[in-house]
Structure 1
Amino acid sequence: MILAAGVAMMVTLALGPKFIEWLQVKKFGQFVREEGPQTHLIKAGTPTMGGVMVLIGLLAALFVVARPTFSTLAALIIVFSVAAIGLYDDWQKITKKQNEGLSVRLKFLFLGIAVLVADILALRYVGITQNVVVPGFEQNLVLGPGIIGIVLFSVLMLLVIVGTTNAVNLADGLDGLAAGAGCISLLVYTAIAFLERQYDVAVLCGGMAGAVVGFLWFNSHPAEVFMGDTGSLAIGGVLAAAAILTKTEMLLPIIGGVFVLEALSVILQFGYFKLTRRRIFKMAPIHHHFELSGWQENKIVVRFWILQAAFAAAGFMIYYLTLYTAV
């Protein structure tokens, strides 16, 4: 795990300057919405698609350390499926100078196919069971026998993957916010996978954490490069895959608490506005609310990291106490 993290971080750090220079030459710059915070207009043109650096770092780590197992393959199918969707969205934004990428229907179609393949691998070859572990309860929630259980498990996988990737994507609005919070969550899942003796998953999470730390070197304020949808969806994909493979889906909303808060702020803002034509927050996701309230960007990011560390520690404590009680 340490070797995977180290290799991924060093590769990402080494690749960064040349890759950022290449993005600048190609003019692959960030498109900034005019209706967003005015302080963000200065960020227009900053190179994006930095998530490609993260993926290359991760692949380098897996090439050196990982074993060719079905567990690793199932996770990579999920991760690179969502990353490919993010890469296409980034490309559309760059070429069309707008925020519209792949349609929702096509996203769900491609994700559905990826989930189905990963589902078959997880159930048949990895040994994942069709049940949900609820912390604090002795009995697990069984999704059903035969084809019913497979369908329900596939739906659960899809919900976990879509929810996690979109939540991480919503948090990617300030320099270093999604990367730092994602790294904290990945470190917790590295520990959980290790304690579950799922060492392939632990290597994947450790490698991704190392790659994200290397990327954060360039993404810290003021950012030299943005991760784009490619990176945020990839981080979310690794977290979702780790939660599914370690049977900790119910703990993921706690371990990734900041991402949940970001997503909830958007849902609440949208729903309340539809009902009352008024807003709860000055702008959603919630980090923009604090920006418009006068908080400096760095202060928001660091405070969200602290909050994320508290959420992650709480999630890990619940997991560890449940494991200790079971033993």
Structure 2
Amino acid sequence: MLAILIAGAFALLGTLIGTRFAIRVLVRRGYGQLIRDDGPTAHHTKRGTPTMGGLVIIVSVLVAYALAKLATGFTSYGSDPPSASAILLLFLFCGLGAIGFLDDYIKISKQRSLGLRSKTKFIGQVVVGLAFAITAIMWGDDSGRTVITHAISFTRDFEGWELPTVLLMVWVLVLIAGTSNGVNLTDGLDGLATGAATMVFGAYVFINIWQNNQNCLYNPGPKCYEVRDPLDLAVVASALTGACFGFLWWNASPAKIFMGDTGSLSLGGAMAGFALMTRTELLLIVVGGLFVAITASVILQVAYFKFSNGKRIFRMAPLQHHFELVGWDEITIVVRFWIIGGLCVITALGIFYWEWVTGGV
């Protein structure tokens, strides 16, 4: 449990201190955000704000996790190396962050609002996702438990809902692409995605701690969880929570730095990884309800535009920009969306606990 606190504290300090240093470096190099001409006019004042701040989040999480393991990894029983689950989750986190970094770098170096082509970005997500999925279903422990299973899950695996390997790969890719792009779409207002992500990762700290305390390996029973390495996953979740919380100091309105695709894709990938590893895949729809709603607004807008001869449901998508054009202040939108995101997280935790209390009845 000490490792969870250490990881969160060091990640928080890492982004609080590291982001200030990153802002100076990025400003000196002229690595500023480019703004789309077809976006809300109020956003034009943000042109030139440093971007790629997601790099600070990634480095802080990796360093904080390593320090937590070094500080608590040696006991009278021997060393406690990083678990398979943590290694794979960090691989997914960093792999998608690398794709986002390339996207951000191309935007800056070529001075355009579009980076990687959508097809190229999708191919990168598929490669990283497949590498994660294949390794996760093959990496078993001494008891035969793999990092992820073939079953579909809500608060735990559904019995009899196992997918063939090919369909499992597709399911994993859908989750990864959906969450990473969902966070990317949400990252349009100062602090919106960062604050919402902080709450989601905080929820997974509690979920992983609970699953560790009720794990079938240590506490067998009808309500126990067949989840591998839950305590180590809680350490990673704590590091992500702390890193996002510290970054929010600089990213809140008026933002001194943006996370860019480097941050949004990596954080979204981490959310998908937690959902798969904690057997809460469908619960992710509730935990990340804000991201789901914003993504749905884009899908609905595009579909309605195509099938209604150019008509629109919203003044602009994603959803947060619709409210900007309606006349809401940016800070008002962000705070109200944070409230919605927090309610989604609380509801998901309530569902998770209710299922354990009732035994799924």
Q: TM-score, normalised on structure 2?
A: 0.86
The 8 Å contact of residues 133 and 250 in structure 1, kept in 2 or not, is answered as: yes
Distance 2:257 2:349 in 1: 31
**Is 1:223 the counterpart of 2:255 in the alignment?**
yes
Alignment correspondent of 1:251 = 283
What is the alpha-carbon distance in structure 2 between the residues aligned to residue 293 and residue 219 of structure 1?
A: 24
Structure with bigger gyration radius: 2
Give the structure 2 partner of residue 129 of structure 1: 149
2:314 matched residue in structure 1: 281
Q: CA deviation at 1:29?
A: 0.3
The residue type paired with residue 131 of structure 1 is A
Question: 1:136·1:322 contact (CA, 8 Å) conserved in 2?
Answer: no
Query: Is the contact between residue 51 and residue 230 of structure 1 (CA under 8 Å) also seen in structure 2?
Result: yes
CA displacement 1:162-195 (0-9 Å, x = unmatched): 0000000000000000000010111111111221
C-alpha displacement at 1:326, in angstroms? 2.4
Q: Tell me, which stretches of 5 or more residues in structure 1 are unaligned?
A: 144-148
For structure 1, which segment, 117-126 or 312-321, has the greater mean C-alpha deviation from structure 2 after superposition? Answer: 117-126
Q: Say if 2:174 is the partner of 1:141.
A: no
1:8 pairs with 8, 11, 16, which one? 11
How far apart are residue 140 of structure 1 and its match? Answer: 4.9
**CA 1:102–1:4: 2 relative to 1, 3 Å:** same
Aligned with residue 28 of structure 1, among 27, 31, 42: 31
Once residues 175 and 323 of structure 1 are traced to their aligned partners in structure 2, the CA distance between those partners, rounded to angstroms, is: 37
Q: 1:172 aligns with which of 178, 187, 192?
A: 187
SS state at 1:4 partner: helix
1:146 counterpart residue number:
none
Partner residue of 1:51 out of 40, 49, 54: 54
1:315 aligns to what? Answer: 348
Alignment correspondent of 1:260: 292
CA distance in 2, matches of 1:72, 1:152: 24
- Distance in 1 (CA, whole Å) between partners of 2:156 and 2:194 is 31
Instruction: Map Cα deviations across residues 254-285 of structure 1 (whole Å, 9 max, x no partner).
Output: 10011011101111111111111111111110
Partners of 1:30 and 1:48 within 8 A in 2: yes
Equivalent of residue 106 in structure 1, options 111, 120, 126 = 120
Would you say the 8 A contact 2:151–2:158 is kept in 1?
A: no
Letter in 2 for 1:233: L
Alignment deviations for residues 98-129 of structure 1 (CA, whole Å, 9 cap, x no partner): 23222333333332332232223322225132
Q: Work out the number of aligned pairs and report it.
A: 322
**Contact 2:287 2:348 survives alignment (8 Å):** yes
> Secondary structure, in 3 states, of the residue corresponding to 2:139?
helix
Partner of 1:77 in structure 2?
91
In structure 1, which of residues 65, 77, 88 is the aligned counterpart of residue 102 of structure 2? Answer: 88
SS in structure 2 opposite 1:241? helix
Within 2, Cα distance between the matches of 1:121 and 1:286?
Answer: 36
Which is helix-richer, 1 or 2?
Answer: 1
What code does the residue aligned with 2:352 have? Y
Which residue among 58, 62, 66 is the counterpart of 2:65? 62
* Structure 2 contact 179–272 (Cα < 8 Å) conserved: yes
Distance 1:134 1:225 in 2: 36
For 2:31 and 2:156, the matched residues in 1 are separated by: 48
Structure 2 runs not aligned, ≥5 long: 70-80, 141-145, 213-229
Question: Do the aligned residues in 2 keep the contact of 1:134 with 1:141 (CA within 8 Å)?
Answer: no
SS at match of 1:139: strand
Alignment check: 8 A CA contact 1:134 1:140 kept: no
Q: Is the 8 A contact 2:201 2:271 kept in 1?
A: yes
- Larger displacement relative to structure 2 (12-21 or 217-226): 12-21
Percent of counterpart pairs with the same letter?
40
Other-structure match for 1:293: 326
Q: Say whether the 8 Å CA contact 1:133–1:140 is kept in structure 2.
A: no
Question: TM-score, structure 1 length as denominator?
Answer: 0.94
- Following TM superposition, the consecutive aligned residue runs of length 4 or more in structure 1 with deviations greater than 4 angstroms are 135-138
